[in-house]
Amino acid sequence: MLEKDLYNLVVAKDIATQDVLTVTLNDTLAVALKKMTVAEIRELPVVTGADSKRVISMLSRKDVIRIYHDENEKHKTGKLSRMERR
C-alpha cells in the first residue's frame, strides 16, 4: 500500500481521545495544574462551562508556571496584580 493511501484510511476519530480533561473559565490555576500533573499532560482545553464542549482556548503547564512566577514576583515587589484586585 502506498503511503499516500494511508491518509485516507485513518480519520481523526480513530485516534482522538474520547474523554478529554478540560478546565473552565472559573477553575483556578491550581485546579488546572493538578489535572495536568495527575494526567501527566502538558495542556488542557479551556471550555466556557462544565457542560460545554466548546473549546475557547488552550492552557499549558508552561503558561500556569509563568503566571505563578509573575504573580509571585509582583507580590514580592508590592505591585497589585489582577488576581489580588478581585
Give the model confidence (pLDDT) of 69-78 as tens digits.
998 888 888 7
What is the full DSSP assignment across 7-68? HHH--HHHHS-SS---EETTS-HHHHHHHHHHHT-SEEEEESSTT---EEEEEEHHHHHHHH
Give the model confidence (pLDDT) of 25-59 as tens digits.
999 999 999 999 999 999 999 999 888 889 999 99
pLDDT at residue 76, rounded to an integer: 84
Question: Could you tell me the pTM of the whole model?
Answer: 0.70
- Going from the N-terminus, what domains does the chain have, and what CATH number goes with each? 17-85 (3.10.580.10)
